[in-house]
Amino acid sequence: MVQEERNIAADVLKAMAHPVRLGVIEVLADGERTVTELYEELNCSQSMMSQQLKILCQQKLISIRKDGTQKYCSLSNRDFLKLFDCMHLHLRKFLNFKD
Residues of this chain that interact with its own copies (CB under 8 A) are 1, 3, 5-14, 16-19, 21-23, 26, 59-60, 76-77, 79-80, 82-84, 86-91, 93-95, 97
Proportion of the chain in helix, strand, coil states, percent, rounded to 5: 60, 15, 25
When the beta carbons of 66 and 98 are compared against DNA, the nearer one is: 66
Q: Which of residues 27-86 bind DNA (CB under 7 A)?
A: 34-36, 44-51, 53-55, 64, 66, 68-71
The type of residue at 10 is: A
> For 81, phi and psi rounded to 5 degrees?
-65, -25
- Give the Cα-Cα-Cα angle 84, 89, 3 (nearest 5 degrees): 60
Question: CB under 5 to 8 A by kind: which of its own copies, DNA, none does 55 bind?
Answer: DNA
